[in-house]
Every structure is written in structure tokens, then in C-alpha cells.
């Protein structure tokens, strides 16, 4: 469960919608949780009442351009035991722009929903990622043109790169 002091009722509802849509697979020692940008957009519409045009405006493109671009996804790849805090977070440019426009509550709810599939680690990981997202969103300029991969080792930021 997310920290209700941080999240509004809408953010909490968004978190629940995201949590229901997350796909989880194992690949050797890695565990991968992911959700598509389309699924996130549907949850944004349902939880906050955004329209397709408003969502496209967050990306600063028209609805038709938004439909034509490559579908993105948000995913987190845990390396080894999740409780150790070794993970890579993949955020598409579209998702970064939506978080920047809609607010950090949306970003925290999104990440908490994706990591919520792993009991006991969601809160710690969400806190670590919240710090990275907040810094990135504040310093990210006016619009993200490329997705980012954020690296965490032992729950500490270990850098990032473009996707």
C-alpha cells in the first residue's frame, strides 16, 4: 500500500489501476515488471478524467501523432533479490513528460503500482525512485525527447542514460 499522506485519493485510485495492469516475468535472476504507456494513459483517463487531447498535449503532440509514434513502456528490472535494491527503471519520454505535467504524485503512484507487485520492497523502491524522478523532473528542461534508464544499486542512485 502506498503512503496515503503523500498521495491524494485520485493518486491512490491511479495506483490501484496501475497495479492491476502490471505484467511480471522472471528471466534467470532478474524479475521484470512492466506496463505500457497505453495502459498508463487509460488509467490516467479513468482516475483523473484526462482526455486524449490532454494526454497528447502533455507530450506536446497531436492525438494522431501520439497514435503513430512507437508505443513506449515503463518497466523495472530487479537484479537478484528485490530486497537488495538493485534495479533498473526504464521510463519512456512520453511517461517522463506526463509525470512532469501531471505532477510527482502521478509519478510516485505509477512507480508504486509497478513495484507494488513485490511485497515488502515497494515502499523502499518507490522512495528511492521518487528522489530520482523529482530531481530529474525539476532539472529535465521543458520537454523530454528520449526515454531514460535509471540505475539503482543498494537503493542508491547509480546513474542514468538515455534509452
Residue 2 domain-assigned (yes or no): no
Looking at the structure of the chain, the number of domains it has is 1
Residue 3 domain-assigned (yes or no): no
pLDDT band at 124 (very low <50, low <70, confident <90, very high): low
Residue 30 domain-assigned (yes or no): yes
Residue 4 domain-assigned (yes or no): no
Give residue-wise pLDDT tens across range 15-66: 889 999 999 999 999 999 999 999 999 999 999 999 999 988 887 654 455 4
Residue 81 domain-assigned (yes or no): yes
Residue 118 domain-assigned (yes or no): yes
DSSP per residue, the chain: ---TTTS-HHHHHHHHHHHHH-EEEEETTEEEEEEEHHHHHHHHHHHH---HHHHHHHTTS-HHHHHHSPP-EEEEEEES-GGG--EEEEE-HHHHHHHHHH-HHHHHHHHHHHHTTSTTTHHHHHHHHHHHHHHHHHHS-S---S-EEEEEETTEEEEEEE-
Residue 61 domain-assigned (yes or no): yes
Q: What is the domain range of residue 82?
A: 9-162
Residue 109 domain-assigned (yes or no): yes
Amino acid at each position: 500500500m502506498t503512503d496515503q499522506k503523500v498521495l491524494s485519493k485520485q493518486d491512490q485510485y491511479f495506483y490501484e489501476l496501475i497495479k492491476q495492469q502490471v505484467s511480471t516475468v522472471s528471466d534467470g535472476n532478474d524479475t521484470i515488471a512492466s506496463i505500457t504507456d497505453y495502459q498508463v494513459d487509460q488509467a490516467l483517463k479513468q482516475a483523473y478524467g484526462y482526455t486524449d487531447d490532454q494526454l497528447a498535449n502533455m507530450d506536446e503532440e497531436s492525438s494522431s501523432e501520439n497514435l503513430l509514434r512507437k508505443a513506449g513502456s515503463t518497466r523495472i528490472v530487479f537484479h537478484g533479490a528485490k530486497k537488495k535494491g538493485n534495479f533498473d527503471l526504464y521510463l519512456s519520454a512520453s511517461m517522463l513528460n506526463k509525470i512532469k505535467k501531471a505532477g510527482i504524485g502521478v509519478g510516485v503512484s505509477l512507480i508504486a503500482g509497478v513495484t507494488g507487485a513485490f511485497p515488502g520492497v515497494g515502499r523502499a523502491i518507490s522512495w528511492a525512485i521518487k528522489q530520482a524522478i523529482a530531481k530529474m523532473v525539476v532539472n529535465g528542461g521543458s520537454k523530454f525527447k528520449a526515454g531514460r534508464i535509471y540505475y539503482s544499486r543498494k537503493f542508491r542512485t547509480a546513474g542514468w542514460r538515455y534509452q
